[in-house]
Every structure is written in structure tokens, then in C-alpha cells.
Structure 1
Amino acid sequence: MSAFGDEDTLALQTARLALHYPTGSARDVALMLAVMNDAEFIAHVRDSGVRDLDAAHRALQLGPMAYRASNGLGLCRVVEAASDRDIGQIGLVTREGLPAPDLGYAFLPGARGRGYATEAGRAVLKHARQVLRLPRVLALVAPDNTASLAVLDRLGFTFETMTQLSGVDHVLRQYSITLHEER
């Protein structure tokens, strides 16, 4: 894994994946629209009502791009290196009411079950530990999202509590991983 500057938007790279900071490009917007309309995303995260490219562009600006501008964190576009195909999003976001950044991710149906979430998650956590020097990272997951629960287990997260976020109509399982001992 290596970290790069913003000039080409490449944030992190793994053996099979390239993670790009969002810039508002047509690819970023198209991926946002696809993710937010994926049936699994709607079932396990929320239905944001984003149904067209204009709404997806606004969601990208208010979400991933705003997170990055305010604190250097944010969701990246995940690209399968071999095919140059956009397959999902992953990164760190801050949410009101949570004491630490949250690892968030969503992968499109054709990319699920191939280890991409775990591979990308390891890269993001390594960056959080080595570059951002974060003491810990949280992860929130719907209790019935068995695939995400397995990813969090492989990444080393441990269950903390049940929680409910503002604007989300269901209770979530909150996990955490310690990256550095707080001083």
C-alpha cells in the first residue's frame, strides 16, 4: 500500500485496488448513484432518495467531499485495478454523536464476496494508524448484515454497543478497533 497526493486523486493502492479521493467527476457521481440505489445499501444503510445524477452529485458534495474538506477523512471511490472498473466506496467519516471516525463502505453487487471490502478496509486502517495517527476507529452495521459483520471480524473490530444515529430509523451494532493507545 502506498499513499499519494491529491494531484491525481489516488489516495491508496493495494494489490488489486486503487482508492481515489472524490473530485466530483462523472465517475464519482455515477458510482454514488449506483451505490445509493443498490438494494442491499437501501436495506442495510438507508434509502436516501437519490434517484438521478443531480441528486447524486449533491450527495457526493455533502457527504464524501465535505468530509474530506473538513477533516481530511472521507469515502474514496474503489477501482478494481485489473479492469479499471468502479466497484464501491470505502473510507473514514465523522458522524455527529460518535466519539471517533467511522469506517464506512459499500460495494456493488458484482464486487461482493471477493475479499475487496477486507482488502480495502486493511488499507484504510493502515493509513488511519500510520498517517492519520488515529487512536481508534468505529464501524456501524445493521444487525442482519452478515456480510459486513464478517468483514469487521476479519479486520479485527470488536463489538461495543447498540446505537442509533440521527436520521436512521433502525438500531445499529457499533464496533471499534484500537489503532494507538491514547496518551
Structure 2
Amino acid sequence: MKLISETQRLIIRQLTLDDAEFIIQLLNEESFIRYIADKNVRTHADAVNYLMNGPLASYRDYGFGLNVILLKETTTPIGICGLLKRAELDYPDLGYAFLTEFCQKGYATEAAFSVLNAGMKAHSLDTVLAVTLLDNESSNRLLQKIGFELKGTMALYGSQNNVYEYMSA
């Protein structure tokens, strides 16, 4: 497993197949289904398939992808955060999701800022996008807080989304 970055409170590392049970829990959170999508990951086999064809394939193809976020003190997994490459977007985009019990504690901001900076440096990126539903107020606030600028909206996966851009200085 590859370490991506560490913060004062978090360890951020690449996902492995050993994270399957956590992925089942996270992808079935009400907020994940509401604001991201229902990935239909219900069983261990579904989670392994999701990991193999999602994050692990992204690491292989692009050198980056979603990472697991762990509390440093306990190594408890609390969310995912990483850079994604989608065919619909011209640049990689920042994605994240956290278990509800760990929201509103600053972990998402801490992880997103760390992953964004580590990813841009490691992969020589000068632009990263982020896409979020118009009514996902906490994600819209988080992106602005860490320096993303709202560029407009676009239809993606059947919904209108805000499109944010972050450019290195």
C-alpha cells in the first residue's frame, strides 16, 4: 500500500482489496447515494469488483485515484479522497466521501487540501477540477474554502453540477 500524504490527524494511503468491508459501508451511506451515486456495492464481491475496476485500475492507468482516509490515532477508516480522471472532463478532478459520523469535523477539508497538493505535485498537474451537485452545500463550501473557483455548471450523469477549478499558483 502506498502512502499518499499525512496530516496532523490523518493518514492518506491508496486503497487495497483489504478495504472492501469499509467500501461497502461507505458506498451505502445515505449521503453517498444521494450526492454521488448508488454504486450497487452490497457484498464483499461487489466491493472487490468496485476496487479492482475503480481505484486500483486508476492507479495503474493514471498513477492516481481515490485513497482511503484513516484517523492517525486509531487507523480507523473514515472516508475516501483522491484525484479521478473522467472522460467527460478535460482535467483530473478531486473527489471525496466520508462516513456521516466523521463529517463536520474538518477531516474532509484537511484530506482534500492534502490530497490536492500532494497529487498536483506528484503528477505535475497545474489544473484540477471538482464537480458537485448544486444542492450539496457542504461540498460547495469545502471546495471554495480550499481555493477552488466556481467556473459554471454542466450536466453530468443526468444531473446539473457545479464545476470548480483549482489552478496552481
What is the TM-score with the length of structure 2 in the denominator?
0.95
Match of 1:18 among 11, 19, 26: 11
Pairwise CA distance, 1:108: 0.3
Q: Alpha-carbon deviation of 1:131?
A: 2.2
Out of 113, 120, 143, which is 1:152 matched to? 143
**What is the letter of the counterpart of residue 158 of structure 2?**
D
> CA shift at 1:128, angstroms?
2.6
| Secondary structure of 1:150 counterpart | helix
1:35-80 Cα distance to aligned partner (Å, 9 max, x none): 2101001011111211111111101111111111101010101001
Contact 2:21/2:44 (<8 A) preserved: yes
Q: Which residue of 2 aligns with 1:35?
A: 26
Pick which of 97-106 and 154-163 moved more: 154-163
* Percent sequence identity over aligned pairs: 32
Q: Indicate the residue corresponding to 1:143 in structure 2.
A: 134
Matches within 5 A, 1:28-177: 28-165=19-156, 168-177=157-166
- After superposition, what is the alpha-carbon deviation per residue over 1:104-127, rounded to whole angstroms, capped at 9, x for unaligned? 000001110011111111111211
RMSD over aligned Cα, in angstroms? 1.2
Q: Which amino acid aligns with 1:55?
A: D
The runs of 5 or more residues in structure 1 that have no matched partner are 1-7
Please give the secondary structure, in 1, of the residue aligned with 2:144.
helix
Aligned to 1:5: none
Say which SS state the counterpart of residue 159 (structure 2) adopts. Answer: coil
Q: Classify the secondary structure of the residue corresponding to 1:95.
A: coil
Say whether the 8 Å CA contact 1:9–1:23 is kept in structure 2. no
Check whether the contact 1:90–1:106 (CA below 8 A) recurs between aligned residues.
yes
Aligned-partner Cα distance in 1 for 2:52–2:120: 26
- Count residues with an aligned counterpart: 169
User: 4+ runs of 1 displaced by more than 6 Å?
Assistant: none
User: Equivalents in 1 of 2:122, 2:39: separation in Å?
Assistant: 32
8 Å CA contact 1:14, 1:119 repeated in 2? yes
Q: With the length of structure 1 as denominator, give the TM-score of the two structures.
A: 0.88
Q: Secondary structure at the match of 2:22?
A: helix
Q: Distance in 1 between matches of 2:67 and 2:45?
A: 19
**Does the 8 Å contact 2:4/2:118 carry over to 1?**
no
